[in-house]
Amino acid sequence: MSASEYSFDVSVENFQQYVLDNSAHVPVLVDFWAPWCGPCQSLMPMLTKLAEQYAGGFLLAKVNIDEQPELAQQFGVRSVPTVKLVRHGKVADEFTGALPESQIRTFIDQYVERESDRQMPGILEAFASGQEKAALAQLQQLRSLEPDNLQLILCEVAFLQRMQDYPAAEALLSGLPANFATDSEVIQAKSRLQLAMEAQSAPGIDELLQRLGLDPNDHQARYLLASSYSREEQFEAALENFLELLRRAPDFQDGAARKGMLMVFDLLGGQGELVSSYRRKMFTALH
């Protein structure tokens, strides 16, 4: 091997040992390159740097196609640079051309086992068993090691919401960088948190139903009922009550009914029969 323990040149003779055997333990990126290839000269140093930074999370195997035409032919390489990711002895993914570093990291991260992958099952189990503060502390420590791991951020928001620490959850979501803010899971988390905050001080569903039975124009009760249904993931009931509020009082709390329906749509992923049906009903109610 050359360069380091994480990146090395391979040939037909050592491909089995260095690539296929190693791929049983970690992903192996196989970089097919050539000395005359301009993009190869920019891609290889980047891959080598990432291999060092990931410190064994993946290995980088470099194949000079001029010297190893058999390997290039065996893997169907038609242009360089071509990078193939080998896992458990098989090509699991690939890309061609010199991609930006951010895209390469995203590509690699799909296959690299991180510390969070090892620890999260235990943390989730601890939280579910009632050890909420200890689980949250473990999660926050883990997140400090992987600050760009969006799934850990969303998990912490969910923990805080379950613990009814709404200000902390809201601050965490508000402080996300711009590249995370438009993620569909983040939008869902914001909607879920907002509806939970609306329902936190609400009376029970039975009491709200009783209030509406006495006065169908108790708009505050209907809004709290819809928010409570949302928190309980009874989405159709939530949408029906937001819609009824929209019909009766479209200007209530600056259009809170319409906003509530949009937040439920977010929670449902913005698609599906329920969303389509209530989008049409909302449009009709507004016009």
pLDDT digits (tens, 9 = 90+) for 252-266: 999 999 999 999 998
Residue 244 lies in a domain: yes
60: helix, strand or coil: strand
CATH number, residue 29: 3.40.30.10
Peptide bond into 45 cis (omega under 30): no
Mean pLDDT of 30-51: 96
pLDDT of residue 3: 53
pLDDT digits (tens, 9 = 90+) for 236-246: 999 999 999 99
Catalytic residue of the set 37, 61, 108, 189: 37
The verdict on 279 and 264 lying in the same domain is yes
Q: Look up residue 64 and give its DSSP letter.
A: E
Q: Provide the phi-psi class of 282: left if phi over 0, else alpha when psi is between -120 and 50, else beta.
A: alpha
pLDDT beyond 50 at 67: yes
The verdict on 141 and 224 lying in the same domain is no
State how far the Cα of 141 lies from the Cα of 272, in Å rounded to an integer: 38
Residue 102 lies in a domain: yes
Count of domains in the chain? 3
Q: How confident is the model at residue 2 (pLDDT cuts 50, 70, 90)?
A: very low
Catalytic residue of the set 30, 40, 154, 275: 40
Residue 217 lies in a domain: yes
Asked if 37 is an active-site residue, the reply is: yes
What's the domain range around 282?
199-286
Strand ranges (E), 88-212: 90-96
Torsions phi, psi for 62 (to 5 deg): -105, 130
The verdict on 65 and 120 lying in the same domain is no
pLDDT digits (tens, 9 = 90+) for 125-154: 999 999 999 999 999 999 998 887 888 999
Q: Which residue among 109, 136, 166 closes a domain?
A: 109
CATH number, residue 216: 1.25.40.10
The verdict on 76 and 151 lying in the same domain is no
Residue type present at position 274: L
Residue 121 lies in a domain: yes
Q: What is the value of pTM for the model shown?
A: 0.60
How does strand 82-87 pair with strand 59-64? unpaired
